[in-house]
Structure 1
Amino acid sequence: MAQVRFDAVRKVYPNGFVGVAGASFEVVDGELLVLVGPSGCGKSTLLRMVAGLEAISDGTLTIGDRVVNDVAPKDRDIAMVFQSYALYPHMSVAENLAFGLKLRGQSKSEIAARVTEAAQMLELDQVLDRKPGQLSGGQRQRVALGRALVRQPQVFLLDEPLSNLDAKLRSGMRVEIARLHRKLGTTMIYVTHDQIEAMTLGQRIVVLKDGRIQQIDTPMALYERPANLFVATFLGSPAMNVLRGRLERDGRSWTLEAGDEVSLALGEAEFPPDWAGREVDLGIRPEHLLPAAAGAASLAPVVEVVEPVGSEVFANLRLGRHALIARLPPDRVPVPGETLPLSIPSGRVHAFDVGTGERLVPRA
């Protein structure tokens, strides 16, 4: 096991495109860290630089105590699991698991021991004689994980390993990967564009956009205290509601004047007095739009579309020019066309600067 440290690491391509702009962070020894962001944000580029598949334009990359900028991929003591399973179709599961060890000259007894251990850990011991074409998608992905596992590397790199699986298999494999990490305690860097995978797997998450790090923190800290509007709207399903408007103060009570005669009552929000008259982007999580008691409504949008999903109901709403979504309990399913009085719990709104998108934090 080893820590991985990025120190102002940059990737600039020959055409001048900046794939990664000065990434500096550390993956702690034994940590499962997730790189997440939309396509083209630089997450796979960072992973490929750790693997040695992309040259580093500037900065320093360290694995353990060794700077690896100019170290060949085969000498970095890493193992990588790709989006495609990349299994040899003419080899059995056992042969696929053993192949890398044979190339490294391991003894037959050592290879057999490691293959058996990995197969039992990943519940592949009953299919060792089968070819990849005879396996399910989940089994093939476990073989790809097992092939990396038998190497016993310092660092595991996983590049969107679940993208080719259906929803049910993805959910199951997420649990298997988390269980595997907990058992092994090995350093893992996991790349995904799926924020659900990021939130459920990562001990910490690095959120990227346009080659730049937006925020690094634990999943719940990112969810509850996003550094900017991009992080706020990227993490969370359904996404955070955002209303742009002007804050107004009446005594200790605040409202957001959001145009189209939309006035959102915020109660005694913890805003400093000098925010009165300030234009902001106000964020509200769907679960914080709650059915209001009589006379206690903060807003009264019109229901457009209802999505019952069993344990909860997603209500797509219209408030003037603003589209909103509320996550509601299933005991009362609203009807399209009705007006739905909602309230917002105290302290459950997020304010962002309309120019920079940065989170606005009241001064102490």
Structure 2
Amino acid sequence: MAGVTLERLRKVYGNGHAAVDEATFEVADGELLALVGPSGCGKSTLLRMIAGLESITSGELRIGGRRVNDVPPRDRDIAMVFQSYALYPHMTVAENLGFALRLRGAPRAAIDARVRAVAAMLELGDLLDRRPAALSGGQRQRVALGRALVREPQVFLLDEPLSNLDARLRAGMRVEIARLHRQLGATMIYVTHDQIEAMTLGQRIVVLRDGRIQQIDTPMALYDRPANLFVATFLGSPAMNVLRGRLVRADGLRLRRADGSQVPLPDGFRPPAAALEAEVALGIRPEHLRPAGPHAPLQAELELVEPVGNEMFLNLRCGRDALVARTPPGPMPEPGARIGLTFDGACVHLFDAASGARLGV
């Protein structure tokens, strides 16, 4: 296996659009790194640049310490798993798995041994004689993964490989990919728009927006200390609640909102001095927003209760702002009722309203 290093990598198309702008990070040997962001953020373009399927406008790309900017894809010793399974319909599972090795002129006995080893690893041993049309979506995706595994490349590149599967199969395949990574110790770069996939699979996550890296860190570090408002609201399901207004000191700290209402802030909230009298965005995770009595600092109207088994999501309206509270299951008032909400000041995230940058520690 090998590490991957990107230094100020850029991809600019003929119309001047910068799909990837100054991407700099390093993937350690044996690491599973997730690239995540909304559609059009440049994550798949970045993966294709690493694979050699997109040219590099500027910057430097190294795989295993070797500069590969102008190296053809076949000579980079990488394997890529695409969103579409891209299996050959006229070939059996065994033939699909061994196709790349046959192209490289590997001996028949070596191909058979490698195909059977990978098939056993992915629980495909009983399906080797079937063609893709006779397989389920999850089985086809495992064949696509296996086709990459048989080659034993330096780096695996996975471009939204689970997006065509239903929710149950996606959950199962996430476990499968994580198990394979632990078993192989392989270097993997995994592209997804699904933040749950990124959080559960990535040892580290690169968050992208409009071609630029927003933050790189471990999943929980990103969740607990997002660098800006975009990262804060993109990672987490349900998304972080955001209240906007001016931070003022009047009988304690308060958030003065555009409609004139004021939200008293709890004692544990310690904003930096520069944030006072500034326009800010206050972020509160749904699990930190708790229903309370009629004298709670924040009042909202209940719009919808979503029971999901072991917890409930309360969808609320507070003036112009939509809020979500995550609570244990239990009796709740009917939609339209007023609910008081409280939150711990130590759990509040503070951002500059204009730039979205995090304020304070």
Shorter-chain TM-score bucket reads over 0.9
Q: How far, CA to CA, are the matches of 2:274 and 2:47 in structure 1?
A: 44
Q: Tell me by how many angstroms 1:300 deviates.
A: 1.8
Show CA shifts across 1:87-136 (max 9, x none): 01111101110111011111112111111111011000011111100000
Tell me, yes or no, if the aligned pair for 2:303 and 2:316 is still in contact at 8 Å: yes
Tell me, yes or no, if the aligned pair for 2:233 and 2:239 is still in contact at 8 Å: yes
SS at match of 1:318: strand
Tell me, yes or no, if the aligned pair for 1:68 and 1:76 is still in contact at 8 Å: yes
Q: Which residue of 2 aligns with 1:45?
A: 45
Q: Please state if 1:317 is matched with 2:325.
A: no
Q: Which residue of 1 aligns with 2:127?
A: 127
Q: Which residue of 1 aligns with 2:237?
A: 237
Q: Which residue of 2 aligns with 1:176?
A: 176
Q: How far, CA to CA, are the matches of 1:334 and 1:200 in structure 2?
A: 34
Once the two structures are superposed, the pairs formed by residues 67-216 of structure 1 within 5 Å of their partners are 67-216=67-216
SS at match of 1:214: strand
Letter in 2 for 1:256: L
Tell me, yes or no, if the aligned pair for 1:313 and 1:333 is still in contact at 8 Å: no
Q: Which residue of 1 aligns with 2:350?
A: 351
Gaps of 5+ in 2: none
Show CA shifts across 1:194-220 (max 9, x none): 111111110000000111000000111
Q: Please state if 1:55 is matched with 2:60.
A: no
- 1:273/1:21 Cα in 2 relative to 1: closer, same or farther (>3 Å)? closer
Q: Tell me by how many angstroms 1:275 deviates.
A: 2.9
Q: How far, CA to CA, are the matches of 1:91 and 1:299 in structure 2?
A: 62
SS at match of 2:126: coil
Q: Tell me by how many angstroms 1:247 deviates.
A: 1.1
- 1:119/1:352 Cα in 2 relative to 1: closer, same or farther (>3 Å)? same
Q: How far, CA to CA, are the matches of 1:151 and 1:327 in structure 2?
A: 45
Report how many residues are paired: 360
Q: Which residue of 1 aligns with 2:19?
A: 19
SS at match of 1:343: strand
Q: Tell me by how many angstroms 1:354 deviates.
A: 1.3
Tell me, yes or no, if the aligned pair for 1:290 and 1:342 is still in contact at 8 Å: yes
Q: Tell me by how many angstroms 1:187 deviates.
A: 0.2
Q: Which residue of 2 aligns with 1:342?
A: 341
Q: Tell me by how many angstroms 1:183 deviates.
A: 0.6
Root mean square deviation of aligned Cα: 1.3
SS at match of 2:35: strand
Instruction: Give the TM-score taking structure 1 as reference length.
Output: 0.96
Tell me, yes or no, if the aligned pair for 2:5 and 2:62 is still in contact at 8 Å: yes
Q: How far, CA to CA, are the matches of 2:275 and 2:131 in structure 1?
A: 65
Gaps of 5+ in 1: none
Tell me, yes or no, if the aligned pair for 1:37 and 1:192 is still in contact at 8 Å: yes
Q: Point out the more displaced range, 341-350 or 41-50.
A: 341-350
Tell me, yes or no, if the aligned pair for 1:262 and 1:319 is still in contact at 8 Å: no
Q: How far, CA to CA, are the matches of 1:48 and 1:2 in structure 2?
A: 18
Q: Point out the more displaced range, 242-251 or 342-351.
A: 242-251
Q: Tell me by how many angstroms 1:291 deviates.
A: 2.2
Tell me, yes or no, if the aligned pair for 2:47 and 2:157 is still in contact at 8 Å: yes
Q: Which residue of 2 aligns with 1:272?
A: 272
Q: Point out the more displaced range, 168-177 or 328-337.
A: 328-337
Instruction: Give the TM-score taking structure 2 as reference length.
Output: 0.97
Q: How far, CA to CA, are the matches of 1:215 and 1:334 in structure 2?
A: 40
Q: Please state if 1:5 is matched with 2:5.
A: yes
Structure 1 stretches (4+) deviating beyond 6 angstroms?
Answer: none
Q: Point out the more displaced range, 242-251 or 348-357.
A: 242-251
Q: How far, CA to CA, are the matches of 1:158 and 1:334 in structure 2?
A: 46
Q: How far, CA to CA, are the matches of 1:274 and 1:213 in structure 2?
A: 26
